[in-house]
A and B are shown apart, each in its own frame.
Chain A
Amino acid sequence: MNFYFANFNEFLQMGTHGPYVWSCYFLMLAVLLVLAFIPNIRLQHLKKTARSRKAGAHSSRTSGSDSDHASAA
């Protein structure tokens, strides 16, 4: 199996079809990258949500115990 084109420049030009072929491949690359990274972004978002939920629960517990002390006093 050999490289089909005479040189790299010819490979990039694809005859006169370079812009058609390369635009499709770049779009497909972008689509595959988006699909690959969406779960990572969602995971980061979920971690942030979990942290803020935990901080919220902690602060409400703290303020709850403060008010308990105040009422006891």
Chain B
Amino acid sequence: MQSRVVFAVWLAICALALRPAYGQSEAALKKAQAAFDQAQAEFLQGKYDEAARSFQHAYDARPFPSFLYNVAATFHTKGKKASDPVAYQKAIDAYRKYLAADPEAPDKAKVEKAIDVLEAEIKRLKGPPAGAGSPVAAPNGAGNTAPPAPPPSEEVKQLEVKVRGLVVIESEPSNATIYLDDKRKGAFGTTPWSGTLEGDHKVILEKRGYMVLEKTISADPTKLFVLSGAMAPASFLGWVEITSNVPGAEIFIDDKTVGAVGKTPLSQNLPKGKHTFWISAEGYDEVKQEVDVIPNEVTPIRIQLKGAPVGRLNVTGPGIEGAKIAIDGKVLCERGPCQKRLPEGDHTITVTRHDYKPFSRRITIQAKTESQIRVTLAPTQSRSDAFVTFLLAAGFGGGGAYLGLQANQLRDALKKEIAAGKPPPDSNDPRFLRGKYYAIGADAAFAIAGIAALSAVYYTFRDKGAPSTGVIDVRSIALTPSIGPGYAGLGMGVSW
């Protein structure tokens, strides 16, 4: 407890000590911004020497390398306008200073190429003129008129040159982690940061022991835009540093339903107290960890993901968006395409869609593989033949029943008349033959009805037409070692 109090007092003293420095920096930044704006105006007016001088003043106020680039670009433009080797040389000198100030400049290659092209252009311009021996123009312009400047070479013409706007992101205190737009993209940089940005962006600044700062910027490529954030200390926050042996593993905190908050490695503040972390990566067992975040302390979370015997199932195919995919009788996806992880082993996949024949297949999911099934569902065929056959069966059944009743009536009447003998039917009584015909007809009708009914049942349940099919393609999910700044682990990719 005593140590914490001492630490807080120390932080307060530091903060007070830093305030003047931050104020000086802010004045320099305003000076630099004024010089930058003036330089832009002069550049647009074609006052290249003045503009270059103003960009240099801006650099002098705040040494952002982009200011030096703009000095070079200004001389480059002047030289290109008049094929002036002196201006070209100044541009080359400024480019070199730019590269010296920012050796890791993202446009280093382009700048070096520009230097080479301009040096060649200077040599070309200083070489013997096409009309050697002709009178040279007097410096004061008296006498003969000066010959027109030669056009720039094709190489020079192809070089793109323009002054840049500048986005400066600063924070107080500095060394805050910058996230651009979404923390899940990972860290963008640390303050102070300067560079070129275009469009609207959300800037998230995060630093241990300070409240998270979020701002939205609209960067103008022709202006100097400065984002200065004063981060408020937060004594109730703890700092967590989450890393895993698998870089890029998704991090869920406290509530999985809101989605992943970022990917490993990730450092951020969290309110004090207990938090639940889930770290998951494709092909690995998900790790759940409960962590008690202590304010003003760093809580490292080191996650060791272990490969699980799981594979991935990817169900695709024409019309799959209307199909329901089930595994082992349980719905896996309400509609396709469906890409899910499944435990290693045998499974039964069933793809159903209204008015289509279901597709069912026994598949074996292997660990660290993706089993892609391209399902082509065949439409179910009409059952009109079964309906007609049922009608036929019913018709013959009804006819058979009618004929049977007629036969039975005749039989009973004949029996009765034979017994009574009033009058006795004779052996050629037509009712014998008629009754026999009725009986045979009834039996035949019953037989046909039975056959028709069986056929109808068959027609009802038979798999008519082509079945639904599926093509299985198994692909391995490769795990490759990956090393990055501040982390090392295994990356995953799919290959086949």
Q: Do chains A and B stick together as partners?
A: no
> A residues touching B (Cβ–Cβ < 8 Å)?
none
> B residues touching A (Cβ–Cβ < 8 Å)?
none
